[in-house]
Each structure stands twice: as C-alpha cells, then as structure tokens.
Structure 1
Amino acid sequence: MPQFFLNKRLLMLLVSIIVLVALIGFSLREREELTWPEQFVKDSTSWVQSLVSRPAHYVAGWFENLQDLQNTYQENKELKKRLDDMARLEAKVYSLERDNEELQEILDKKESLSKYEPKQAIVVARNPERWNELIVINKGKANGIEKNMAVVTSRGLIGKVKSTTPFSSTVQLVSALDPANRISAILQGEKKLHGTIEGYDKEKELLLMKGLPYDAKVKKGENVVTSGMGGVFPKDLPIGKVVKVVPDEFGLNQTAYVKPEADLYDLEHVMVVKKVMDSVEFPDESDGEEEGK
C-alpha cells in the first residue's frame, strides 16, 4: 500500500511538471490576445498595484515637497543674507567713495591754504535742535585747536571754533543766529564791496550780508569771501554767492542774500585753519650803532 501511494505521488508530480512546462511554453508564444484567465490575473495585479502605488506615490511626493520646501527656505534665507550683505557693501562703498572724494578735495584745497595751517577733523556730534548753529569735531587743545580758529570744508567757510576741550571742539556755524556771530566779508563784483555776514534766513537757507552801500550795483552770482580784517578768519576764504539784493529797512544800505558755498546741512570732514601772520624783519639796532661809529 505505501508503495502504491508513493507511485501515485510521483505520477502526479510528473503530470504537474508536464502541465507547467506546457503552460510556460504556451504563455511564451507570441499571441495577439491573452486568454481570459491571463487577462483576469493581469487586470487584478494591475488594480492591486495601482491601489498600493497611489498612496505610496502621494506619501513619497509629500516628503519630496517637504524637502523641496525646506531647501527653498534655506535658499531664500541664504539669498536674503546675500542681499543684506550686498546692501551693506553698497552702503560701505558709497561711504568710502564719498570719503575719498571729500579727502581728495581737502588735499587739493591745501594748495590754496599755503598761508594757513590746516588741521583735518571729523564731525562727531550735532544737536538736532541746534542743527544750524553748532557742531562738535574730534580735535581739541591737544591737537593745537584754539578758540576763534576758522573752520572750512573743501568748498568754503562753515564757521569758527567757539570752545575747546583737550580732545574735542565746538564749532559755531556761520548760520548761527547769534548777534556776535559776524564775519567781515568782501563782495567781489565790478567794484570790491565790504560788508558783514550777520544773520541767516532759515526758510530760504541763505546768509545775510549787510552794510553794502545803497547805490552799489550788485549782480546775482557774485562771490563773497572773507576779508581777513576781523582778526579771526584768514583772507579770501569762500563764503558763498549772491542770490539777490534788497534795501535795508531804512534804505541807507543794501542787504545781499548769499547762498553758502559749503553744504551746512551735511557736514562730515572739515578743516580747522589757523591764520599765519607774515613775519616782519626789523633792522638790528646794534648794526646801526656800529655804522654810526
């Protein structure tokens, strides 16, 4: 009996192998259409794959989008940083270019200040409430700065030293509304006219040059410079140009409105100049006595 079952099993195995080989051979043949079992199996497999792949693709796509979003955030952050760095760099370049221009102008200006002793300084403070009156510079007594020294930019006069400390000085601008703030000036027209800079029109941002003769012919655009007669300001420092002329309240003199040559609103690099007195040589008395002998 056991031998019978063994032979039966062997027979079934052989039949199964034959059927399997036949099916494989049948399936490998080139056919235009599949059988309905093959179609059923294929459609079922495709449906199951589709059912599984859609959520898988969705989840994978979500993670990819999340990764892309994170990468975009990092890139955006890096770009913003570069833009900020570029803005700071542009501001620095602009500041350096401006400083270079101003310093170059100051160096060129020294050629015309041969009779003066210029000391370069930087504006370090300015009170908003007294913007048109006072500035503070970073040079003081330790640098040889003294009261009443003239202060200029590369373009022209801006004021004088009002007070000093060892390492800083307060400068009174020409636009300060102080009755004692007067500058002896010359109007360089067809005829040289003397007057004084005293007063400032805040609305028009113009200096007032008073004391001009009532019959003097003054033209627009004529230069106004320091006369050097006040004992404070050296001679021929540019102050500004005439904008218009009006008679004073009594009609005895004229007042010229002068546009400052220097920019009194935006001040950074300045020069403090000391007037150099020309030395006068006196004859030696001993030589005279010897000649008399």
Structure 2
Amino acid sequence: MAEQVALALARLEKSFLRREKVISPVERQHISQGKSDKCSIEPPSKSNAIREFFLADMFDFSLKCDSNSLQAPIFSLSTKLDTRVWEWRSKDGKSYIRVVPSVLGRATQHDKDILIFAISQLVEGLNRGRADAKNRTVRFKAHDLLVTTNRQVSGDGYRRLREALERLCSTTILTNIHAGGRRFSEGFGLLDKWRIVEQSDSDTRMAAVDITLSEWLFSAVRSLDVLTLDPAYFQLRSPLSRRLYEIARKQCGSKPQWTIGLELLKARVGSFSTPREFRRKLRAIEIGNDLPGYQLKLDAGDKVTFYSVQTAKPRNGTKSGRIDSA
C-alpha cells in the first residue's frame, strides 16, 4: 500500500506541475489513506522547494495580520468609491504612511481580508517548515477564501473579489515604516500583481487565483512581525468595528486597558467623519459590544478606553445590528 501511495504522489507532482491544478482537500485525505490515486494537494517537501508559489491549502490555521497595518490606517473605511489621498503620521512625527488610490478607489478594510488570509496561510506554512512558504506569490482557491472570510459564495461574491484584487494592486503606499527590519522609502502597491490561473468548469467564475504580496508585506511575514487575530474578526461587518478591534489588538494586546483621546483615535482609525459623528458611532459600538476580546468606553471628557475582556467594565446593553461605516 505504501508503494502505491508513493507512486500516486509521484504521478501527482508531474500532473500538478504540468497543469497547475488546485486539488481538493477531500482528495488529499483520500490519498493519505490510500483510498485514491488521483492526487494530493500537498506534494513531498522536495517538490515544495521547486514551486514558484505558495499553495494555500491549509484549513487549520490561526488568523495573522502584519503589525504595521494594525498600527496605521492604510485601508478605507468607506463602502463607496474613495479616491481621497490619505496621509498618517505617528504622534512623534517619525513614522508616516501616504496612501494614494487610483481611479478604482482606495483599498478598503474589507479588501484587507485577502491579505489576512494570505498572511495567515504563509505564517502557518513557515511554522510547519514548508519550503514553498518562502515564496511571496500565494495560490488559493477563491471558494476557500470566500468561505473563510465570511463572504457570499455567489456570482456577486466572485465579482467583489475581483474588484478587491484590483484595488489592492492599484492603491499605492509611500512610507518610511520598517517592515521586518528593513526601511522602505519607495512607493509600492499592497499587491504586486494577481492573476486567475483556473476558471470554474461550469461558468466564468475564478476557481484558483495567484497573488504576489509586496516586498513590504512579505518582509513582515518572513520576520514573523505579525499578530494573531480573533477568529470572530471576519464576523464583524462594520469597517469601523474591524479597525477599532485592530487598534485594540495592537495597542492593548493582553494588557488590562489602553486609553487614547477621541481626536487621536479618529486619526488612528482613519475616519473622515466629523468629531460629533465619530462620537456617535463610537457610542453605538460601545453599546453593541461586538469587539472580540475587547470592550471600549467613551467618557464625558472624550477619552476612549479599551478594556480586555478579563478586566472589562460591566455595563448594560445588547448587541446591535450592523454599524454604518465611517
């Protein structure tokens, strides 16, 4: 039986490299159990080393995000076309990020899901010692990404995925923030490129996609300059709620609490709302209490405090519905 499995894996590798097919996890399980000779999605480590891409085929992984995009408001909170140039500087003035959108609009907070998915898979691959995790081009099944990120698996879902890929490629970043110990001063896109490598048999929807991360993002992955996100992150529908959770995760972490002024938080979030409107939205999220692992409280002096759930202030209120974007 072991010899049959070995032969099947050898046939797989030849077939895989020739057709660049993405194999289902069900077939991977069958071949590992000697039930099928079709193919396995995870060839031997020697084969991984010669790939020019990382195959995102794992289903048991924790969510990871690069720490720099948790700190700075790179992504738009708007659900509509956003062509405004955004510049952020740290409080000490030493770090800055300038985000320049194209005519397609600035990459959104929901577009970031694609990067989180790819980074999470790459970090898990590195932790498992996979040789192909050294590649910054990631291949994934579109269906797997849609399901993992809590998106609709429909024609509209695939269309939105394509639009997100276009915005990630065309949004230009200029920064002096270190990524993985390196300093970047040139402009670059969040993705270098993307392409559809396989179409669905039944229609024109994409089945498998290649994305190439920018060197800035990949440097963070390679140096493991990442933080783990709560699995409930993709359940948050409001872009503002997601951004507030990211700030709490970066600044508060496992500490009991962290406090920031309303105006500074507004800048850190990247909101274009008026102070009055931003305050109203924070109140709604405070009542909704939907930040996984954290709670926030806005006091009368416009101080916002994030509490970890272990030390969170008790208060009344039930979960609210979807919150409008900032």
* TM-score, normalised via structure 2 length: 0.21
Please say which structure displays the higher CA radius of gyration: 1
* TM-score, normalised via structure 1 length: 0.23
- Which has the larger share of strand? 1
